Chains A and B, each alone.
Chain A
C-alpha cells in the first residue's frame, strides 16, 4: 500500500541529474510518496477509527489512484495532493470524480496568503470526503480536525509554495507599522521582498512577478501625539495597474527553486505618469505586496502595465506581515530607526554603538552643528583648505587638520565618500552608501554647495539653536557643556562652496562639548535629552554626522521640507525664520524648550532613509523639493 520511497541511484548526483530522474520527468517528485505516508500517519492519529479506516481504505485506493493521477498531472501546477486530500476544493463531490480531475481541482485552487493556508484549508475538508476514486462508500461526513500548521506535511510538490525570507525583520517592522518611502523617481523597498519558492515543476517554465494592491480604500495620517495611524478619509482614485516581473523570468521551476528570489530592484513611485515601469502607489495609503507564480503558458497577458492575469496557472501569494503604508517621509521615528539600523545602505546613519563620551565623540557628533556659542560661519572654520568642487579624494587628503586615518570607505574613493562625512578617527562608519543608489552622492556634496548658503545658514541656526538650548545647564545631560566651550573649529576658511569640507576638521576640533548634545535634536518626547541619551543615541548621533543626515536633519526642521503638510509644526516657521540671513545672530532665537520641542517634532518628521537622501541630489530641483 504505502509505497516505499524509491531511492534512485541517480539521486546521489547533482541536482541536474535529479532533474533527469524518472520522477522528475513524469512530474511527480519523490517527496510526494513520502508525504502520502506522512499524511497517512497523521490521519490515523487524528481521526477516529472510522475515519482512519476510511482514510486508509481510501488512502490505499487513492494513493494508488492518486499516484496515477499525479502522473497524469504533468501540466505545470496541477497538484497531486496526497491521499484523500486530493479532494481539495472539490470536496464533497469527489466520489464521482476521477483522480485526475481531483488534481486539477487542487491545482486550480490557488493559495493566497502563503501556501500553507491554502493547503490547510484544503486538507481538512478534503479528508472527510476522502473520496476514493474507485467509488468506495463515501466516508462519514465528520471532518477530521484540521492538521496543525506546524505539523502538517509539506504541500504536494506540485503546489507552489512561497516562503518569505527575512520574515523576522518584516515582523519587526510590522509590529511598529511598516512604512515605505515613495518618490517621484521611484524608491526601492526596505525590506525588499525576498522569497523562496518550492513545489514548482522543475521542468515547467514560469514567470514570477510582484504587484502591490491596496489593503483598503482609506487614506491615512499619522498622529504624532499618539504615535498612531488614523484614517483620514477615503482613498484616492485607483492608480494605474503595475506589475513587476522578476527579471529572471521566464525560467524553469528548477531555476526558481534553487535560489532566493529577490525583488530588491522593484521601485515604488507616486508619479501616476511614471513611464519607467515602477509600481505606482498613493502616499498615505496601505498596501499589500503579492508574489505571483505564473506558468509560462498562462503568461501571455503578463505585462508590467496590466493587472496580473488570472487563471489556473497563476497563483498569488501574500504575507500579512509585509503590509505597509506609503509615505514620502517617515512618520514614525521607530521606523526610521529600524530602517537605519537594518538597512545596509543606511549604514552611514549609524553609530558604531560605542559609548560616545568624551571630547572626540563630541567633536564627531556635534562639531559641525555647534562649533561655539559665537557666531560661526563657514569662513570661520580654520584648517580646512579652501577647495573647489573637487573630487572626494582630494578633499579627503585636504583635511589635514590632524584628521587621522580616513575612513576606508573614503579612501576607496567610493562615490559617496565626500570627506565632509569623515568624522575623525573614532568614527567607525560613514555614509557607506551603495554605489547603486548613491552614485549621485559625490555630486551631492557639490550640489549642495550651491545651496550651502541656505543650508549653512540653517545649520548654523540649528547649531546655534541647540547651543542656546544647552546654555542653561538644566539637566545633567548638559553637563560638560558650557558656554565657554571653546570650539576650535579649526576649520579652514572656506566659502559656502566648500560646504562639505568643514566637517572634516570640524570633527576633530571641538572640545568641551557634551556628547549628550547630540541627542537634543530629534526626539519626540519633551524630555528629549534624557531619553535620547540612553537609546538610539547612536542613531541620533550619526544623523548629525553624515551629510545626508545633516541634510535630512536640515530638512526635517524646515517646515517646507516636510513633505506632508500634516507634519508641519506651525511653530517651525517661526523657528527657522523666513529667510536666511547673513549670520546666525540675526536670527530670532526661540527659547530652549520650545526649540527643543521644535527640533524634536521636526526630527520626527523627515527621517529619510539614506536612499531618500541619496536620490535628492541628482538635480537641484530635486534638492529644493526636499529642502523647501
Chain B
C-alpha cells in the first residue's frame, strides 16, 4: 500500500514540462481535458523565448507605505503608483529615482479599514477607491491636490474589487455580500446589481470585447455576466475559493487564482483548461500584461510568478518578504507593481 499524496502531480521527477530542460521543477502545468484527464503540458519552444516575453524582472523601487498594501495600481504614464493601505491611498512618483515619500495621500476610509481596490480611469485623471466600507470614493487627480469628486454608497459593508469599463462610463464593484454593483460614473448612480454569488465576490475583470464581466467569489464559483442583458451567462464551480482572476486582453483565456494555491487558465468557451501548481499558498492577485502573452500571479507564499499564456510556462519567479496581496502591470508592460503584507509596495522593471 503505497500512498503518494502528490501522485496526481508527479508524473515524473524530471521536469516534464520544459523540453530538454533541466530546471529540476517537477511538472507544474497540466492540461485538463473536458473529461477531467490531466496531462502535463509539453511547452512549445517559444514558451520563454518569444517576442514580448520577459526574461526576468528587476526591483526598482520599494515604496514604504507603512501599512499592508492591499491595492496597487500604476498610471498609464508609468509615472505614478498608487498604493492602498489602511484608510488611505498614497501616491508615489516613480519616475524619480530614489523616491522615498509619497507625493500625496488620499484619505478615503476610516483609519482602521483597509482599502481593497483602487483603479484609475483610462484617462488617468480619476481614481476610484473601494475597500472595507460601504462607499466608493472617486478622486479627482487632476486638481492641484487630489480631492474627492464623488462618493458612491452601496448597501454592502465592503467592496473587494473594482473594474472600470473601457469607455470609462461604468464602474463595477464586487461586494462582500456577493453582489456586483454596476455604477454609472457620470450620473453617479447605481445602474443594476448582478446577483448570484452566494458569498463575497472577490475579483472581477471585463472581457476583451467589453461585453462580458467575469467575477470570482468566495463561494467557489466563477461567473460570467452579460453586460448588455444583465444576466449570468456561465458559471464554473471549483473546489476552493476564488481570490483573483483576470481576463486575457488578447485572447479567450481567463486566469483564476484560488485559495488552494492553484492557478487555472480557463478558456471562455471551451471546456478544457490548464492547471498551474507553482504557488504554495493562496493566489491573492493576478494580472495580464497588455499584450496578453503573459501574466503574473502573486501569492500568500510571498511569490510573484510570471507565466506564459495560456499553458503557464513559468517565465520568472520573484520571492518577496511577505504575502503579496496585489499587483498591477503598466499598460506598456514595462513595470510590475506589487503590494506586500510587509507594508510596502515594490516596483519591478521588466527585463526583456
- Contact mask A474-506 → B, CB, 8 Å, 1/0? 000000000000000000000000000000000
Chain B residues in 8 Å Cβ range of A303? 2-4
B187 shortest CB reach to chain A, Å = 27
Bound-complex Cα distance A9 to B154 (A): 14
Given the known interface contacts A245-B3, A249-B5, A303-B3, the answer about A10 and B321 at a Cβ–Cβ threshold of 8 Å is no
Picked from A20, A204, A205, A252, the residue with its CB within 8 Å of the CB of B200 is A20
Chain B residues in 8 Å Cβ range of A297? 280
Decide if A27 touches B300 in the complex (CB within 8 Å): yes
- Contact mask A374-417 → B, CB, 8 Å, 1/0? 00000000000000000000000000000000000000000000
Which residue of A has the minimal Cβ distance to B115? A22
Q: How large is the interface on B (under 10, 10 to 19, 20 to 34, 35 or more residues)?
A: 35 or more
Decide if B300 touches A74 in the complex (CB within 8 Å): yes
Decide if B241 touches A10 in the complex (CB within 8 Å): no
Decide if A26 touches B323 in the complex (CB within 8 Å): yes
Bound-complex Cα distance A249 to B160 (A): 30
A104 shortest CB reach to chain B, Å = 13
Decide if A304 touches B68 in the complex (CB within 8 Å): no
B327 shortest CB reach to chain A, Å = 13
Decide if A305 touches B1 in the complex (CB within 8 Å): yes
Bound-complex Cα distance A25 to B299 (A): 9
Decide if A13 touches B2 in the complex (CB within 8 Å): no
A203 interfacial by beta-carbon distance below 8 Å = yes
B259 interfacial by beta-carbon distance below 8 Å = yes
Given the known interface contacts A10-B157, A16-B219, the answer about A26 and B322 at a Cβ–Cβ threshold of 8 Å is yes
Chain A residues in 8 Å Cβ range of B240? 252
Picked from B68, B199, B301, B323, the residue with its CB within 8 Å of the CB of A14 is B199
Picked from B113, B160, B200, B341, the residue with its CB within 8 Å of the CB of A26 is B341
Decide if B2 touches A27 in the complex (CB within 8 Å): no
Chain B residues in 8 Å Cβ range of A17? 176, 199-200, 218
Which residue of B has the minimal Cβ distance to A304? B3
Which residue of B has the minimal Cβ distance to A14? B199
- Contact mask B52-78 → A, CB, 8 Å, 1/0? 000000000000000010100000000
A287 interfacial by beta-carbon distance below 8 Å = no
Decide if A302 touches B218 in the complex (CB within 8 Å): no
- Contact mask A1-15 → B, CB, 8 Å, 1/0? 000101111101110
Decide if B68 touches A9 in the complex (CB within 8 Å): no
B258 shortest CB reach to chain A, Å = 10
B163 shortest CB reach to chain A, Å = 17
Decide if B70 touches A22 in the complex (CB within 8 Å): yes
Which residue of B has the minimal Cβ distance to A26? B341
Which residue of B has the minimal Cβ distance to A4? B112
A276 shortest CB reach to chain B, Å = 7
Bound-complex Cα distance A27 to B322 (A): 9
Picked from A6, A12, A201, A275, the residue with its CB within 8 Å of the CB of B157 is A12
B311 shortest CB reach to chain A, Å = 24
B260, B281, B301 interface centre (most CB from chain A within 10 Å): B281
Decide if A25 touches B300 in the complex (CB within 8 Å): yes
Decide if B341 touches A25 in the complex (CB within 8 Å): yes
Given the known interface contacts A20-B200, A27-B323, A205-B260, the answer about A277 and B1 at a Cβ–Cβ threshold of 8 Å is yes
- Contact mask A303-332 → B, CB, 8 Å, 1/0? 111000000000000000000000000000
Bound-complex Cα distance A275 to B3 (A): 13
Within residues 233 to 264 of chain A, which ones have a CB less than 8 A from any CB in chain B? 245, 249-250, 252
Binding site for B on A (CB under 8 A): 4, 6-10, 12-14, 16-17, 19-20, 22, 25-28, 68, 71-72, 74-76, 100, 201, 203-205, 207, 245, 249-250, 252, 275-277, 296-297, 299-300, 302-305
Would you list 17 pairs from A and B whose C-beta atoms are within 8 A, ordered by A residue? A8-B113, A8-B132, A16-B200, A16-B241, A17-B176, A17-B200, A22-B325, A25-B282, A25-B284, A25-B300, A27-B300, A28-B341, A71-B322, A203-B282, A252-B260, A296-B5, A305-B1
Shortest Cβ-Cβ A-B pairs, 4 listed:
A26-B341, A9-B157, A203-B282, A16-B218
